[in-house]
Chains A and B, each alone.
Chain A
Amino acid sequence: MQALYSQLVAGISLGSILLLAALGLALTFGQMGVINMAHGEFIMAGSYTAFVTQRVIADAGISLLLAIPLGFLVGGLMGVLLEATLIRRMYHRPLDTLLVTWGVSLILQQAARDIFGAPNVDVRAPSWLSGSVNIGITQVPAARLFILMLAAAAVAGLSLVLKATPLGRRIRGVVQNRDLAETVGISTRSTDRLTFFIGSGLAGIAGVALTLLGSTGPTLGTSYIVDAFLVVVVGGIGQIKGSVIAAFGLGLLQATFEYSTTASIAKVMVFVVIVVFLQIRPQGIFSVRTRSLA
């Protein structure tokens, strides 16, 4: 029973990490259709933002809380820069975008290595986030609880922006029918740029959170980018709620399989489940019905 609970917690926690890493991608890949391989490097940039913030402000607690908005800003600005210089020229050319952004991802990794050095750096966790919290009969590491709450806040914030603000309405309008949106006077250019800013900014927040769990190094992003794409593909293009369900589903599956087999086998089994699922439902859990011709 104890094992069941701790695995349930492990699965939910893994799900929240996947969700945080994939949320920005759900926006840029899911809504705009841009395959951005450099998304992982925006996550890495967020992690290094947390590192630099801690170098400036020694207090681990304050610097972490401050790093979250800063990470959003750094990730977002990098995203806008990439969008304005390269991706803008390549809408509707998915293969070229994939190759170009992959190249950008390699450049960013090497840049991080040159700026911060090849060895990993350490971001200290504040004292209130080390150790565990007792919930029911099981213990939950405080850092994982914090990430779960951060993921929930990010989802809530993003849904709010999409549902209730003029910007959100414009984004949804452009996603559902780009030509019609343009005809009624929405600037698709600036909407694209803002969407990209938010999506990349969310990657920056994910990067700040990940410093609590793993290593902060130049290759940090590469370990999450594939899982993030899987979450978006399984969840269904263009739907935030799909990504939420997919992230927790995959997290729980991984934790369950890993407990009964090994980490490597569990990964294989999760992939098999995804392949079978996509055979039955190629459009993912949810899909947007649109009248657009594209």
Chain B
Amino acid sequence: MKGLLIISGLGILAMLAEVFKFKKLLLPLVLLGIVAAFAFNFMEWNTGLSIPYFDNMIGFDKPALAFSGIILATAFFWFILANDYFEEDTNLVDHFALVLFALVGALMLTSFKNMTTLFLGVEIMSIPLYVLAASKKHDMKSNEAGFKYLIMGSFASAFLLFGIALIYGASGSFDLHKISDYISANANDLPMFFYVGVVMMLVAMCFKVSAAPFHFWTPDVYEGSPTLITALMSTVVKTAAFAAILRLFLVDFAGVNELWKGILATVIALSLIIANFTAAMQTSVKRMLAYSSISHAAFMLMVILANVRSNLSLDAIIYYSLAYSVGSIAAFGVLYNVSRKGDETYSAFNGLAKRNPALALCMAVAMFSLAGIPVTAGFFAKYFVFTAMIGTPYKWLLILAVLTSVVGVYYYLKVIIAMYFGKAETTEKIAVEKSQLFVIVFTTLATLAIGIVPSFVAEMFKF
């Protein structure tokens, strides 16, 4: 809870920076604040108490703290990576404040105990992102991205709100526990509109994690937004949205799982097929990563499908989020540096092994991790999903996942082939700022480390 307060305070502080002229100090302050938030987060974890706040509107239990930890850590590295994104822009403070407020929304999504908090979290997280997506003001594509995201996002919010309203209508409460109790008390005669409400919420959340067929905004928004904002969307936002789904569907709507399981299975199957085959056809690496994020979303949804009411799925999703976030930060960090001249296609990666061997190696590890090759983090993430799925009746989905992840290897390897085999137009070296290189190398090493010693993470997040 203290973490959430600190990040909110930082956001307000960032807005004041212009007035009181401490713009230069802002980045160190933000980093310091995030570290402090992380530290408080960690202390709360150790005390092991889950205190509800504001009349049980919000509460940081262990899963919430774990997800918050991942989000804060990712944000920390993101800010280091993004330091020159802030420098070259004129509206420095606004961007800081927006990102920080998005972060506040993300933290709320990990810890809501009440439907209204959920809605607030979604909106607080999304609205800054609409603006950030369009933050390259003179770029048509960036404007398009922001606009598209806003329209589609509002649509999804409407769905969410309508769903909440219907559920409230049936159960008479916004409180997650009361809704859960209501379901178990009236298991056999729930009104029709309650089911409709659950499905509408599912649709809204699938939109937020960009699962097919609600994914159409993703490639355009990811491509149009500045690369670093895309990195933020595919890591922090994804993690937060999954934390929310996990809480909603595994804990509170578990009683009606027969209803949403079939829908979820269809969503997963569609996401796997559409995302992987479309990704294979992309020429832009950024778009490819957008589609790949859809396919990873499908994998995480599979865990939710596989294990209702079990800690195993919690472990698996937390591990998956961590592995995916770490790998993505590395990949987007490299992409950001490679595509400085505006070329985001595979050909921009041609000959990277000669132009900057360190970046190429990091990108190779990140790609192997996203493709799920041992001994990277991505492999264990996939392994946990497979293990979770194998005991379920959805074996066809498992086979589909295997087949499509082979397709996945195709487009990840294309990057590696381009880097090591493609002929570059220039032999000019790519210079990388030290702080950025640190983030890229660190996340790469982390990818390997949590791949080699997965028990470290598993032990850390024991529930």
Q: Answer whether A and B are interacting partners.
A: no
